[in-house]
A and B are shown apart, each in its own frame.
Chain A
Amino acid sequence: MAKIISLHSFQQGVGKSNLTANLAALLAAEGRRVGVVDADLQSPAQHFLFGLGESEQRRTLNDYLWGRCEIVESACEVNRPRGHELAGRVFLVPASTDPSEIARALREGYDVNRLDAGFNQLIQSLALEVLLVDTHAGLDQVTLLIFAVSDTLAIVLRPDHQDYQGTSVTVDVARRLSVPRLALIVNKVPAIYNAAEVQARVEKAYGCEVAAILPHADEWMALASAGLFVLRFPGHPLTGRLRQAAAQLTA
């Protein structure tokens, strides 16, 4: 029952890439086989979050999309991200950090059928239980493609007016693409807010499931991309919330 779960946000800097990597780590820590595809071809981040050195990257998602390799060849196992041992397995398909590759992805886009086929090959040959896809912020054509092939779309937003408005557009567009499941993750919520109150308001405003209300945490901000928060702070309340979110999204 493998599931493709894409994480998206209307604006950049909301914490989508970080959440993707942390959710993957939590699922793998429970012994699951997890795939992570960095489909944010314009601003890739997953290789860095999982502590993958530039030299270790042989093949990327870009190589697969331009027909230079099979998708499985671009996947590399990151079972010990930054020295943390995981019970399960994480396979990462990174995106290229080469500027000309980034430019090409922007210029040409790619074929939706090839992307869909790639995801399915990855799931089957690596026997994945969950495939997490990190997308680019905003609603460009490539991102819409990913919506079209996702089983679940998790939209990450911050509690601010611009995100509220942007998220309403994303939810509407995703529904028109018949995404089977939509879930919202509200990130960087000021600690003084009552989580239940925020959840009720967000659910009501968008008429969709809320997977998590994540309070702002100084440790999260301080760690930034220098590691995986849930592995560094396994006992932190925020890690607890993320664990619940991971369980809910894969249920």
Chain B
Amino acid sequence: MSEILDEPRYVCALGGAQSVQAIYRAVPIFHSGPGCAARVSGSSSGTGYLATNTFPCTNIAETEVIFGGEGKLYDIIENSLKVIDGDLFVVLSGCTTEIVGDDLEQVVGDFKDADKPVISVNTPGFKGTNYEGHEWVVDAIINQYLTRLPKGEKIKGLVNIWGPVPSHDPYWIGDLRELENLIREIGLTPNIIFGEHRGIKNLNKVPLAEFNLLVSPWVGLNNVKLLEEKFGTPYLHYPTLPSGAHETSAFLRSVAQFAKIDLAPIEEIIALHEEEYYYHLERNVSVFFENRTASKMFSTVSTASRALSVAKFLVNDFGLMPNKQYITENVPVEHQDRIAGYFKEFRYGVEAETIFTTDGYNIQEQIEKEYYFGPPLIVGSIFEKKIAKKLNGNFLCVSSPFQQKVVLHSSYVGYHGGLKFLEDLFTGVYQTYN
């Protein structure tokens, strides 16, 4: 079954390379055509210790398609180990080399005695999206690297945090850091492998954690299950990326309960945060509710993770009503019913309908038909800007493709994240009408 896909909001599985890049001093090696590295990274993963233009690549062309590219891959790995000062080398395959049938595992097997670990992961574009690619990369790291580390003692209070997908989600790093702060506040020690100067040091600690914390509706679920299988580490699956007081307080209570921490001091922390949070909401009520152009109903057009986070915040904290929620990252079918269920658990019995679609034309056509009791609020990607403008609605860009503003380390997670979301939302409202 093939059809034309308008405005896709993801890249192919080879985009899992962005997760390798996000591990400091880890080196993705592309066994693919010369354009693939640039295509899957786009502008989202930026520059750094290594970047799109400096990744080793086998530059597959006709010769390798006919005669196989294993010899060339061997040369590239051998030379990468010589010239690139990295800690972990991850070979990723593209569509072409998978169709030709190159055996990555066999070639990588020749480097099992190399000074630095070399692992491989099959990420052909026809097999899935970059969100699945991210999961496969983490799975490969667990299976081929972590399980070969010498066994160590579990560290009390150490928690691995998984969830936001590096680079493709514009707020990934800020969100991860905010989750880290929240976990630290309740007395646990967070461990995240992605982002600045964490790298192999944090990666090596993954098997030693007391438990894994997954903050995402589906991405990463297979990883934490695999970690449980390999290292006996239990996991807490908290599907909603917490934004705003209601969800963040619930998140802190859930984690504390799972970690068997005394709840009394946690309640004190929560009360302090909520006091500050509601102070800001209260003193800006005039901005939020006396603004005639503010919306009453909203739709999100985003990944399951971001859509759920934003929808819970807007309904539970801010009192807007949800219209249809469009989930755009081609969620695997086995997760869809469960995710649709999350959108029926708002406060006051409010429920939202979820549409799983990857097609921009389809989404915009449906949004245009819906009734929003005034100007709609569309929270999505840059693709939704046009339809929001057409309907005289409000618009906030929160997910890829982004190109709307520069995000360095800000986040929509936590108490401060909720306030930041409102700042951005109403800045947009002001700018549209003033």
Chains A and B come from one and the same complex: no
B interface residues with partner A (beta carbon < 8 Å): none
